[in-house]
Amino acid sequence: MLLELAEEASDEDSAKEAAASVAQIQKQLDDLEFKRMLSGELDAGGAIIQITAGAGGVDASDWAQMLMRMLIRYGERKGWKVEVLEETAAEEAGIKSATMTVTGEYAFGLLKAENGVHRLVRVSPFDGAGRRQTSFAAVTVTADIDDDIEVDIKDVDLRIDTYRAGGAGGQHVNKTDSAVRITHLPTGIVVQCQNERSQHANKDRAFKLLRAKMYDYELAKREEKAHAEAKARLKIEWGSQIRSYVLFPYQQVNDHRTEMKTSDVDGVLDGDLDELIRTHLLQAANAKN
């Protein structure tokens, strides 16, 4: 109303005041909407991201590495701290898997929107005939839980393996079995860490990852989703994707949960995920109400 009156009276000062008031109200509404979307118990804290190459051969391994970079860039845009705990290189190109921790305000609340299978369609740079290739990789996001949250893990249920961490070669090769892999036998959950210098430090970090994974598993089990989610995470192929990234014959990113589409594929792959994530989280929040 004030803005309309100011425009009718050609009152520039009142118009600026009204516009500032509208902007302030809009910001307050956006803040309320944001808090409503991210009101989960662990949403405000950090996250653990695991990326796994799926169907598609060498293209899938390359795609997994592209996804890793995309999520790192998103974290950098948010001002979060991203630390790579484990990265297993594939034979020809890319990675088989990687594990990262993300520390920052609302990291888990936002990144949980990336949980699922991601599909890439492009002309394969690894195909001499220049054919189109479809490949898949999975992103699993769990909350990086606080130490004061109790998680029941029995030593008898664990298998702990040590192995030599990969390196860049030459003087950078790790000559001791410092990397640690922990398998929780009853659930089949596997975690590993290799970025620390000592086996003891890697073991501590791996246990922290296991606690977070076990906590996530128990929450899912409580909601009777554990079996379905575990099955979906293993099936990294056709029909299970949450989002498609098409580079050929046209440029488009399509989130299949919200049907939001954008032609700015380069921007998305460089970490510009805000609109995709916000749209999904808003839709999920509305579905709960």
User: Can you give the pLDDT at residue 188?
Assistant: 94
Look at the chain and report how many structural domains it folds into: 3
Q: What does the pLDDT read at residue 46?
A: 97
275 occurs within a structural domain = yes
3-class DSSP assignment, residue 149: coil
Whether residue 276 sits in one domain with residue 145: yes
- CATH number of the CATH domain containing 161: 3.30.160.20
Token readout for 102 is 């993300």
Residues 81 and 126 in one domain: yes
Cα gap 209→280, rounded to integer Å: 26
Q: Does residue 125 sit in the same domain as residue 52? A: yes
Q: Are residues 160 and 142 in the same domain?
A: no
Q: What are the φ/ψ torsions at residue 33 (nearest 5 degrees)?
A: -65, -40
Across the chain, the runs of DSSP E, i.e. the strands, are 47-53, 81-89, 95-103, 116-123, 132-143, 158-163, 179-184, 189-193, 241-246, 252-255, 260-262
| Tokens 């409580």 sit on residue | 222
Token digits of residue 187: 């659930």
Whole-number Å distance between alpha carbons of 40 and 129: 49
pLDDT of residue 289: 66
Give the per-residue pLDDT at 168.
42
Looking at residue 166, what is its pLDDT?
A: 64
135: domain CATH number? 3.30.70.1660
pLDDT tens per residue across span 137-176? 999 999 999 887 889 999 999 999 999 876 443 334 455 6
Residues 139 and 213 in one domain: no
User: What is the model's pLDDT at position 2?
Assistant: 46
Residues (pLDDT < 70) of the chain are: 1-15, 18-19, 27, 30-31, 166-176, 223-239, 289
Instruction: Tell me: do 82 and 203 sit in the same domain.
Output: no
Say whether both 256 and 200 belong to one domain: no
End position of a domain, from candidates 222, 249, 274 = 222
What was the pLDDT predicted at 4? Answer: 57
Q: Which domain holds residue 14?
A: 2-37
Q: Are residues 138 and 185 in the same domain?
A: no
Is the domain of 160 the same as that of 144?
no
Q: Which two tokens stand for residue 73?
A: 């860039």
Half-sphere exposure of 111 (CA within 13 A, CB side): 38
Query: Which is nearest to 194 in space by CA: 234, 220, 161?
Result: 161
**Whether residue 31 is found in the same domain as residue 63:** no
- Spatial distance between the Cα atoms of 284 and 99, rounded to a whole number of angstroms: 26
CA 199 centroid distance within chain: 27
Residue 232 belongs to some domain of the structure? no
